[in-house]
Amino acid sequence: MRYNTYLGILVVSAVTAFWLTPLAGWLAFRVGAIDIPNERKVHRGVMPRLGGLAVYLAFLLSLLAVPFLQNSIAAEFRRFAQLMVPLFLGSLATLLLGIYDDIRGANASKKFLAQIVIASGLWMGGFRIDAMIVPFLGPIDLHYIGLPITVLWIVGVTNAVNLLDGLDGLVAGVTACMALSLAVINIFSQNVLVSLLNLALAGACLGFLPHNHSPARIFLGDSGSLTIGMILSCISIISLFNGEEGSRGASSVLTVPLLLFALPLFDTAQVMYNRWRRNVSIFQADKGHVHHHLLAMGYDHRQAARILYSVAIVTGILAIALSLMDLGSQIFLSILFLVMAIGFLLIWRSRLRDDDDDTDSRKSGDSEMTYRDPAL
């Protein structure tokens, strides 16, 4: 019965998102929430941008059906239902912020400030990183720095997912992989609430994906990528950041959430670093994201998306495996993953330097020859 309910939530959410997405596209054209291509975008035609509305409604509606079930899962869900109120309010505020940005356009610094306010409200509502398990140190009580760390995590993950949204189907597919991985971790740990939240989110993204996969007919927009990122950050807090076993989520070493969110966090970190190195604003859009580099390497849109799906699947599987191990094994593998990550970063930066050298050589060659990014 338990697994039937889990499967049912996943399917209901997916079907709801699939049917609501065309309506969201119709509404986007009516209210002017459209994306017009420019020199940085990888699409060609005018696209509706309110796909996030369909994803959010599918996520919410599938969860609202759970309390009406007559089984142990519904009872467990009702037990922690108080967390749904701040999650609903925070995600709704983020959705409205994204919709405003999709229609009118919003200043990046003001959006950032609004996200900090929303994250602070979520902390007051119970989504708190008050403790975490750190390799070699064990459980650490964060005391007064719990609030800034919580806000940093929520805002950081929200924007990392938002910044990843530059390729057809990328955020929806990667989010589905991360949410399903989190669902598996919490199903093993018998954390009903967190499992249902993840399955509802994964289903909504999977239902939206057929409309968004290359060639896309609708985009998530900021209404989608910001809201999905915020929901994921909150789910991960009650799932992974706990100081002791037996708490509401699946207590794990810090490496687990970092590994699970490795792709969006890496993409954001390397983009911000490159902008800082060039002495430009970190809010200035460019073509420095991972998917842009893959396109420049010669992969088409679908190939680039599939490569990044594969990365999300691999990191998700590793996170699941790590979460099931004892603390000693987690620490040992955390060190191993850190060494592997450093090696990957060195290889990645070497490849980017080679690409830059190739670009410079092309530009300095025949005056009639110009380098054209495949994304254009």
Torsion of CA 355, 356, 359, 364, to 10 degrees: -140
Residue 369 lies in a domain: no
For the chain, the farthest-separated pair of C-alpha atoms sits apart, in whole angstroms, at: 73
What is the pLDDT at residue 119? 96
Single-letter amino acid, residue 326? D
What is the chain's alpha carbon radius of gyration, rounded to the nearest angstrom?
A: 21
Cα–Cα distance, 85 to 354 (Å, whole number): 50
What is the pLDDT at residue 250? 46
What is the pLDDT at residue 174? 94
pLDDT tens, per residue, the chain with 376 residues: 577 888 999 999 999 999 999 999 999 999 988 877 655 555 556 889 899 999 999 999 999 888 877 777 777 777 777 778 899 999 999 999 999 999 988 788 889 999 999 999 999 998 988 877 766 666 777 778 889 999 999 999 999 999 888 788 899 999 999 999 999 998 888 888 889 999 999 999 999 999 998 888 899 999 999 999 999 999 988 887 654 433 444 445 667 788 888 888 888 888 887 777 777 766 666 677 788 778 888 888 888 889 999 999 998 998 888 888 776 666 667 677 777 767 766 666 666 665 555 544 444 444 333 323 333 3
Who's near 336: CB < 8 A, 6+ residues apart?
none
Domain that holds residue 254: 2-363
**pLDDT tens readout for residues 187-241:** 888 888 889 999 999 999 999 999 998 888 899 999 999 999 999 999 988 887 6
Tokens of 296: 């420049």
What is the pLDDT at residue 96? 95
User: What's 47's DSSP letter?
Assistant: E
Cα–Cα distance, 256 to 217 (Å, whole number): 35
Who's near 9: CB < 8 A, 6+ residues apart?
62, 63, 65, 66, 196, 199, 200, 203
Helix axis angle, 170-188 relative to 146-164, nearest 10°?
A: 140
Residue 373 lies in a domain: no
DSSP states of 264-311: HHHHHHHHHHHHHHTT--TTS--S-SHHHHHHHTT--HHHHHHHHHHH
Cα–Cα distance, 187 to 170 (Å, whole number): 26
Who's near 316: CB < 8 A, 6+ residues apart?
177, 178, 180, 181, 260
What is the pLDDT at residue 363? 42
Residue 372 lies in a domain: no
Residue 84 lies in a domain: yes
Run of H or E including 95? helix 84-103
What is the pLDDT at residue 324? 80
Cα–Cα distance, 301 to 299 (Å, whole number): 7
Residue 54 lies in a domain: yes
Residue 91 lies in a domain: yes
What is the pLDDT at residue 374? 33
What is the pLDDT at residue 348? 63
What is the pLDDT at residue 356? 54
Q: Where are the beta strands (DSSP E) in the chain?
A: 34-35, 47-48, 131-134, 138-141
What is the pLDDT at residue 206? 96
Q: What are the distances in angstroms from CA 192 to CA 55, 62, 69, 141? A: 21, 15, 14, 25
Domains in the chain: how many in total?
1
User: What's 69's DSSP letter?
Assistant: S
Phi, psi of 134, rounded to the nearest 5 degrees? -110, 135
Residue 368 lies in a domain: no
**pLDDT tens readout for residues 6-39:** 899 999 999 999 999 999 999 999 998 887 765 5
Residue 318 lies in a domain: yes
What is the pLDDT at residue 161? 92
